[in-house]
Structure 1
């Protein structure tokens, strides 16, 4: 027999059993995730581990093979004299996962196949702050079309696209409610990107960039697997992704993690959100550039907007040369980083605060003052045992997390992927 059906909730709150289609979808997902976690194994092993009947596993496996999500990888023998068993493994080499991020001064891309093979990874400098929403979405569409072509040439068609945006995102509708550093209000990014893609029918989801970066850190970063952590994006603005008990904290409306707008200085500078003294006016990259190299500050019409990596390298050169203005600006950011971090530790008691983006590039100079400030201000003192760690994912953390979210969507619903393409030889005959 198959697994017992888990009830769902109807609109009136009463428990309802899963229908046949929903149960099959759940069982397909169960098998696929088992293969993702355990690697190759036989159908019998899958049945024993999942509690599914062996006949059910065989039936499910036939569908997964037809969809190209698994492949047979040979035989294995149970015991010294047992019958050989045909092993299967996760495949999905023809299924792509495309993660993207559009930020103030760049578009980042990370494309993989279902098994994790990286197909494309790049970052394109682009002044989204200055170009406005229409031109920005047109450029996002152009980049997306080009990347999809690259993925198809590598043998994979995207099974989904997730786009990260720095701001408040209604992910259910694909609408950016408010992105202060981009100047976007109520922008239907998912619908607009679908229009840009024309006839390409690919599911498009939009999410907050810091949430996506946190997912990447939790799954593959320096503190991977840490059940309670905060991930900070070091961009022009500052966003936070919060992992509590191994799960991303989204809040009632999906707007949690806007840590850059914590009010820390009532007499401070005006923020892009319209308020005064937000944390990102103290530690955002725009604030550091303005203090360290005021002649090249963001927003000056006379200054081109280069890739953020180049801006960071210039700050690092100033530190290496012992430039007093640069050293003072970085030290000040470090102190404010620790002050804001102490608020997060008092609220969420994380074990680690992972700092990404430009924070990670300048971590050697930023972490000592930040850690000292945090330890002085955290109410639990040494008992909190929280430390700053520099991310190793660079400015591509959000796009990497976006691609992993696509993979998770497919794992949750393998029926979203059609049958595997049939290989043909040059003469057009099936192989």
Structure 2
């Protein structure tokens, strides 16, 4: 399925805006796909071959793409040149703030990871906001020096497990980090030194960005309506409808971990009782299995114990499959997705309990039988939020590749 953003515009639109749109379509396709033939780009833009060649030439002059001749060619006639991204030319920093660690990557155009680093917490429990800010600044400084001369520093994207106001990157509430009303985007931007000083800093919910990553480069490629479900300490969800993310009015949509599934259940960190994450959060599952919480909050140990015959671990997995089916039934009734992706610690659970989830799901009402959807494990594993953070940081460049502040022409 094509991305709705690739559809040519119609009506009376200024020529400059039409050109910007077509440049965006070309660069976005090259960025997410890699090597693309010029003929495929002509089909994507809906313009003629000479116009496509001019668009590619403009992007090549800016150093964002390059062309090469295909090594193999099966049809008669001259082969259509391949257009490829130049990873070193435009770069972003992607950051993921978690309870148990901070991950960072410097990513080039086309999604190539140019450098990476992971920091574990220096103390037990959530790290305070100011200390986290200092560590994030250090990571950008450490990873942020572009290796290639003439590289353009495009942006910084941050994934956070909490409510993020999309207009300004304010972390409204992150219960597992014990943050409230923290201006993460503005605070980090104020600390950045060249070459990253002045670049846009954008922040998103980690599950929302996990969904964005899976849509761009993972299990949801080609899907327009899907739910990305992730569990670590908490449980979050990212929603796509019609090929676009569903952020809600202020960016707070998708907090499906706080959907009430068991009113008689335990108290959640958010203050409510019986939230979905109190039944399927990774720490809850480990506790039910009688096992210590893994350092990375993974559930591999629970799955392995159940496979080895541990009855308590097996019961914990079965209970989790049942609560997953309850929550998925609610999501199916409201959203009617094509696909549900299991990310974070739930990847291990899905691998071990997919048959039980299907069986329990058959008892959750008519939503699944009337509007069937596919269940699938994440293709990006624990990198999904980082990939999404990079895509969020690249978004302004992809929307207007040759606009103000973009890479100057290569001389």
Please report the TM-score for the alignment, with normalisation by the length of structure 2. 0.83
Match of 1:109 among 104, 107, 127: 104
Choose which of 385, 392, 407 in structure 2 pairs with 1:418: 407
- Normalising by structure 1, report the TM-score: 0.80
Do 1:211 and 1:257's aligned partners in 2 also have CA atoms closer than 8 Å? yes
- RMSD of Structure 2 on Structure 1 (CA): 3.4
Gaps of 5+ in 2: 1-7
CA distance in 2, matches of 1:48, 1:317: 47
3-state DSSP class of the match of 2:320? helix
1:144 to 122, 125, 140: 140
Deviations along 1:239-273, one digit per CA (max 9) or x if unpaired, are 11112222222222221111000011222111111
Question: Does the 8 A contact of 1:102 with 1:165 survive in 2?
Answer: yes
Aligned with residue 86 of structure 2, among 86, 89, 92 = 92
Pairwise CA distance, 1:74 = 5.4
Superposition pairs of residues 15-414 of structure 1, within 5 angstroms:
18=14, 20=16, 22=17, 24-33=19-28, 39-41=36-38, 46=42, 50-51=46-47, 54=50, 60-61=55-56, 63-73=58-68, 87=81, 89-93=83-87, 94-121=89-116, 123-126=118-121, 129-149=125-145, 152=147, 158-199=153-194, 200-201=196-197, 202-293=199-290, 296=292, 306-309=295-298, 312-414=299-401
Q: Distance in 2 between matches of 1:356 and 1:209?
A: 11
1:319-370 per-residue CA deviation (whole Å, 9 max, x = no partner) reads: 2432222222222112111111110011111132111111112323332332
Alignment: residue pair count: 394
Contact 2:336/2:367 (8 A) holds in 1: no
**Does the 8 Å CA contact 2:25/2:45 hold for their aligned counterparts?**
no
How far the C-alpha of 1:58 sits from its partner, in A, is 6.6
**Higher Cα radius of gyration:** 1
Structure 1, residues 158-194: CA drift from partner, whole Å, max 9, x if none? 4222111111111220111111111111111111222
Distance verdict in 2 for CA 1:386–1:57, change over 3 Å: closer
Give the corresponding residue for 1:300.
none
Which residues of 2 match residues 3-14 of structure 1 at below 5 A?
none
SS of equivalent to 1:236:
coil
Task: Report deviation, 1:412.
Answer: 0.8
CA shift in 2, pair 1:214/1:80, >3 Å: closer
SS of alignment partner, residue 185 of structure 1: strand
Structure 1 residues 287, 6: closer, same or farther in 2, change over 3 A?
farther
Structure 1 residues 31 and 242, CA gap change in structure 2 (3 angstroms): closer
SS of the residue 1:398 aligns to: helix
The alpha-carbon deviation at position 409 of structure 1 amounts to 3.0
Structure 1: runs of 5 or more not aligned: 8-16, 298-304, 423-431
Does the CA contact (< 8 Å) of 1:119 and 1:154 recur in 2? no
Contact 1:221 1:391 in 2 (8 A): yes
1:414 alignment partner, SS class: coil
**CA distance, structure 2, for counterparts of residue 315 and residue 34 of structure 1:** 41
| Displacement of 1:221 | 2.5
Moved more, 26-35 or 385-394: 26-35
Equivalent residue number for residue 301 of structure 1? none
Corresponding residue number in structure 1 for 2:4: none
1:213 and 1:255 map into 2 onto residues whose CA distance is: 15
